[in-house]
Chain A
Amino acid sequence: MGYMEIIIGGIFVNNILLAQFLGNCPFLGTSKKMETAVGMAMAVVFVLVLAGVITWVLYAFFLAPYKLVYMRTIAFILVIASLVQFVEMFLKKSIPALYAGLGIFLPLITTNCAVFGACILNIDKELNFMKTLVQSTAYAVGFGLALILFAGVRERIILSRVPKPLQDTSIGLVTAGILSLTFYAFKGMI
Chain B
Amino acid sequence: MLSLSAVLFMLVLGATCGAVLSAASKIFYVYEDPRITEVEGLMAGANCGGCGYTGCNAAAVAVVVGEALPSVCIVADAEAAANIAAVMGVDPGTAEPLLSYNTCAGGSRAAKKYFYMGINSCQALATLYGGQRECQVGCLGLGDCVRACAFDALKIGPHGYPVVDEMKCVGCGACEKVCPKDIMEIKTMSQKLLHLNQYDDRIAPCQQTCPAEIDIPKYIAQINNGDYEGAVNTIRARNPLLLSCGRVCPHPCEDKCRRGIEDEAVSINQLKRFVADYEMNSGRRLPVSVAPSTGKKVAVIGGGPAGLSCAFFLRRLGHDVTIFDAMPKLGGMIRYGIPEYRLPKEVLAWETDGILNIGIEHKPNVMLGRDFDIGSLIASGFDSVFLGIGAWKDYTLGVEGENLGGCYTGINFLTNFALWQQEDGAKDRQPFVGKKCVVIGGGNTAIDCVRTLIRLGAEEVSIVYRRTRKEMPANEVEIVAAEHEGIKFTFLAAPTRVIGDEEGNVTGLEYLKMELGEPDASGRRRPVPIEGSETVMEIDMLITAIGQGPDVFFAKESKRLNEDLNLTRWDTIDCEDPVALQSSIPYIFTGGDSATGADLVVSAIGAGRRAARSIHFYLAGEEITPPEKTLFTNNIPVSIFESVPGIEKSSRTKMPELPVDERIKSFIEADLVINEEDALYESDRCLQCCLTCYNKDVA
Question: Taking beta carbons and an 8 Å cutoff, which residues of A are in contact with B?
Answer: 62, 66, 68, 70-71, 74-75, 78-79, 82, 85-86, 89-90, 92-94, 103-104, 158-161
Contacts and interface: CB of A to CB of B under 8 A. Distances in A.
Contacts of A89: 21, 24-25, 28
Given A78-B17, A82-B21, A93-B29, A161 B119 contact: yes
B13 A86 contact: no
A75 B25 contact: no
B57 A104 contact: yes
Interface string B23-59: 0110111100000000000000001000000110110
B28 A92 contact: yes
Query: Which 10 pairs show the lowest CB-CB distances between chains A and B?
Result: A93-B28, A82-B17, A104-B55, A159-B124, A89-B28, A104-B54, A103-B54, A89-B24, A86-B24, A161-B120
Interface in B1-33: 5-6, 9-10, 13-14, 17-18, 20-21, 24-25, 27-30
Contacts of A94: 28
A70 B58 CA distance: 40
Contact of B13 (A79, A92, A93, A161): A79
Nearest to B124: A159
Nearest to B121: A159
B123 interface: yes
Given A104-B55, A159-B121, A86 B20 contact: yes
A161 B118 contact: yes
Contact of B121 (A66, A86, A92, A158): A158
A70 B144 CA distance: 52
A160 B118 contact: yes
Contacts of A74: 10
Contacts of B9: 62, 66, 68, 71, 75
A42 B101 CA distance: 39
Given A71-B6, A159-B123, 5 more contacts: A82-B20, A89-B25, A90-B28, A94-B28, A158-B121
Nearest to A162: B120
A86 to B, nearest CB: 5
Contacts of A71: 6, 9-10
Interface residues of B, number: 27
A180 B333 CA distance: 79
A113 B27 CA distance: 29
Contacts of A70: 6
Interface string B180-215: 000000000000000000000000000000000000
A94 B17 CA distance: 20
A94 B27 CA distance: 11
Q: Is the interface of A mostly helix, strand, loop or mixed?
A: helix
Contacts of B121: 158-159
Contacts of B24: 85-86, 89-90
Contacts of B30: 92-93
Contacts of A93: 27-30
B532 to A, nearest CB: 84
Contacts of B6: 68, 70-71
Contacts of B124: 158-159
A92 B27 CA distance: 11
Contact of A86 (B10, B14, B21, B119): B21
A90 B121 CA distance: 44
Given A71-B10, A82-B21, A89-B25, A103 B55 contact: yes
Interface string B118-132: 111101100000000
Nearest to B28: A93
A70 B13 CA distance: 15
A60 B118 CA distance: 57
A98 to B, nearest CB: 14
A86 B19 CA distance: 11
8 contacts: A66-B5, A89-B24, A89-B25, A90-B28, A103-B54, A103-B58, A159-B121, A159-B123
Contacts of B123: 158-159
A174 to B, nearest CB: 18
B123 to A, nearest CB: 7
B13 A78 contact: yes
B5 A68 contact: yes
A159 B180 CA distance: 13
Interface in B42-81: 47, 54-55, 57-58
Contacts of A104: 47, 54-55, 57-58
Contacts of A66: 5, 9
Contacts of B58: 103-104
A93 B25 CA distance: 10
A75 B28 contact: no
- Candidate in B10, B13, B58 with the most chain A CB atoms within 10 angstroms: B13
A159 B124 CA distance: 6
Contacts of B28: 89-90, 92-94
A79 B15 CA distance: 11
Contacts of B119: 159-161
Nearest to B25: A89
Interface in B485-531: none
A101 B248 CA distance: 63
Nearest to B125: A159
A104 B219 CA distance: 47
Nearest to B118: A161
Contacts of B27: 93
Nearest to A102: B54
A159 to B, nearest CB: 4
A70 B2 CA distance: 11
Contacts of A160: 118-119
A81 to B, nearest CB: 8
A104 B59 CA distance: 11
A75 B13 contact: yes
Nearest to A105: B54
Nearest to A91: B28
A93 B30 CA distance: 6
Contacts of A161: 118-120
Contact of B14 (A68, A78, A90, A158): A78
Nearest to B29: A93
A140 B410 CA distance: 89
A157 B47 CA distance: 25
Given A93-B29, A103-B54, A75 B10 contact: yes
A92 B28 CA distance: 8
